[in-house]
Amino acid sequence: MKRLICILLTFLCLAATKDTLANCSGKVINPVSDVCWSCVFPLKLGGATLTEGKNPDPKTDANALCMCVSGANVTVGLNMSFWEPLRTAEVVRTPYCFPSLGGLDLDVGIRAPAHGRTPNKSVSGQRSSFYQVHWYFTPWLFVMEVLLDTGCLEQSAWDLAYMTELDPLWDDTVSTFFLNPDASLFANTAAAAACATDCVAASTGLPRSELYWCAGCQGGIFPLTGWVGSHVNFPQASSLLVSRFTMKLHRMGLQYAAYGQKGQCGPYLEPIMDKAVYRTQMIYPSRTTRKVDGRCCYPMGATTTLWASGKTWAAGGEDAAYLIFRKRDCCQGAGLSPVGSI
């Protein structure tokens, strides 16, 4: 009888453990309180700064005076420069778990690989991990109608746009090689050592655009999969996957650039992402709206040491969501809407 009770108790403990591990928690993102709105700045018009910001702002080749032509429509105006909160990226352990939707756990009937992580350090002193990523359209400035008299904002609805659970390449380092064949050029010690320079640059100012294979302090951009070869901690691994997935979408032609002279009349394709025109802010499990050194968002590749403390915990704090800001240069006409905005 005692043996039967022990077996029953063991079964109940295992069942409870399974339910706990499979639990999907989260909260619906509140754009008013969860977004660090100072990340939109600096705001410039015609080269003059209207509102300062504490975040570093890259110089572009956008003209102060601009003109856009689309068919018979001509727009003449001044260049407007700002940072648009555009996308949200979720990094999750459990497939089909959506923390940004309040912890919604879907069952679509399609099996996808779950979170994997080496429990102990290997001989090389590194740990690996695997996560799924979800990509949302969250153009908060347009959705909240913050700026009414401009067509410079991406005018799209809030939407869940991409799920890596349905992408067979996200778990396959070999097959994804066709998206990043140049990765073979950087699989050497010299290329890896160059990422230290990118780490310092991103942490003190802006990342080095020419070192596009680096994600600064987080590691290497390639391969464009969900496997993190050197897992230090969750903020580091999740930040790396946000940078990596953004590059992946640029390679697939699903994410556009919108800065510089080329972007003044509308977004354009950019297969090699410029890291300097992106900045990120963690909004889940703990929002980073409290400013550190005047900032609450950081360039891609910047060290997570300044903000990572207390941002992850066991049982409910091991998934993350990041809001992504993209630099925008736009030809804002006097009393006219700019053409080519998408």
Between vectors from CA 187 to CA 182 and to CA 192, what angle results, nearest 5°? 110
Question: pTM here?
Answer: 0.88
d(CA 280, CA 342): 21
The tens place of each residue's pLDDT in the chain, 342 residues long, gives 444 334 333 333 333 333 334 579 999 999 999 999 999 999 999 989 999 989 999 999 999 999 998 888 888 999 999 999 999 999 999 999 999 999 999 888 889 988 877 665 554 556 789 999 999 999 999 988 776 667 889 988 899 999 999 999 999 989 999 999 999 999 899 999 999 999 999 999 999 999 999 999 999 999 999 999 889 999 999 999 999 999 999 999 999 999 999 999 999 999 999 999 999 999 999 999 888 888 999 999 999 998 888 888 877 788 999 999 999 999 998 544 444 444
Contact call for residues 39 and 140 (beta carbons, < 8 A): no
CB under 8 Å to 288, separation ≥6 — which residues?
36, 281, 282, 296, 297, 307, 311
Nearest alpha carbon to residue 41 among 279, 207, 208, 255: 279
